[in-house]
Amino acid sequence: MTLFDQSKGAIRLLVVEKPGVKYLDKGSRGGVDANALEFKKEHTLQRWAEAVSAALRSCKGIEGIDRKRVLVAGHSEGALVACTVAAANPEVTHVASLAGGGVSQLYDLIALARKGVFAAGVSPDPEKRVAYLVQEWGKVLQDPDSWEKLFLGHPYRRWSSFLSTSPIEQLSTFGGKVYIAQGTDDSAVDVSSADALYSQLLSRGKTVTYDRIPGANHGFSQAEDKTMQGWPAAMKRLLDWFLQSK
C-alpha cells in the first residue's frame, strides 16, 4: 500500500494475497495463522505464482489500465514469485526484486549460517553450522511434498518449491526492465546474492537498475532508524524508476 500512497493516483495497484489466506485474515505470523492447514498446503512457489498470474490476466479487461506498462514487484520470498510471474507473462514490462537475492535461497542460508545469522545455536564453528543446514536440507529432499514437516518454520513443500529455481534463472529469458533493491545489512538475504543477480543480468545484456542500500536491513531501514522510513523511501525510488522508464 506504500506504493499506492506514494503514487498519488499515477498507477493502478493490484495486491495479490498468498494462496490459502482469506481476505482480512488475522493470525500469528504477518496476518497468517501459522497453523492454518490450507495455507501450509498452498504455500509453494508454483501456487503463488499462478495466483498472481491469474489475477494479472483477469485485470486485462478493466477499463483505464495501460496495458503497455505492467510492473510486477515482490519483497523477500515474494521477489522470486515476481520474477517467476514476469518470466511467464509476456505482458509484464517491468519487474522489481526487493530484498529477494539472486541465487537459490539455499545460497543465502549457507552464507548467513557462516556469518552466524542462521543456526547460531548449533555451533560456534561456521562450517558445522553449514553442515547442519545441509543435513536438514537433505531431509527436505527426502520428503519434498510434505506440508507437515518443517524446516526453519516452513513446510518442506515450501522449501522444495522455492529452492527449485532462482531470480537469476527466472529472469534469464525476461526481456523487460529489471529493478533490484537490496540492503547490505539484510539478515534474511545475503547481499552477495543480489550482487550476483545484478552482475549476471548485466552480463546477459539486460536493462537493470540496482538500488544497493548501505547499512539497510530486510525492510530497507537503517539500524538507528526507529521510525522505519527506509521502506517508504525505497518504494518511492521504485515508483520513480517505473514511472520515468520508457
What would the pLDDT profile of 158-185 be if each residue is shown by its tens digit?
999 999 999 999 999 999 999 999 999 9
Closest CA to 86 of 75, 70, 109, 66: 70
Handedness of CA 197, 20, 221, 179 (dihedral sign): positive
The residue-averaged pLDDT of 131-152 equals: 95
- Domain boundaries of the chain, sorted by first residue: 2-104+165-244
Q: What pLDDT, on the 0 to 100 scale, is given for residue 166?
A: 98
Q: What pLDDT, on the 0 to 100 scale, is given for residue 223?
A: 80
Asked if residue 246 has pLDDT above 90, the reply is no
First to last CA, the chain: 24
Q: Strands 177-183 and 154-155: what pairing?
A: unpaired
Which residue type is seen at 23? Y
Asked if residue 2 has pLDDT above 80, the reply is yes
For residue 223, what are the CA distances in angstroms to 183, 195, 215?
Answer: 11, 21, 7
CATH superfamily of 2-104+165-244: Alpha/Beta hydrolase fold, catalytic domain (3.40.50.1820)
Q: Is the pTM of this model over 0.85?
A: yes
Asked if residue 227 has pLDDT above 90, the reply is no
The residue-averaged pLDDT of 49-62 equals: 92
d(CA 107, CA 190): 8
Report the phi/psi class of residue 213: left, alpha or beta, with left for phi > 0 and alpha for psi in -120 to 50: beta
Which letter, b or e, does each residue of 216-228 get, where b requires 16 or more Cβ atoms within 10 Å of its Cβ? bbbbbbbeebeee
Q: What pLDDT, on the 0 to 100 scale, is given for residue 76?
A: 96
Is 220 in contact with 230 (CB distance < 8 Å)? yes
Element (H, E) at 131: helix 126-142
Q: What pLDDT, on the 0 to 100 scale, is given for residue 96?
A: 98
Asked if residue 8 has pLDDT above 90, the reply is no
DSSP calls for 105-128 = HHHHHHHHHHHTSSSTTT-SSHHH
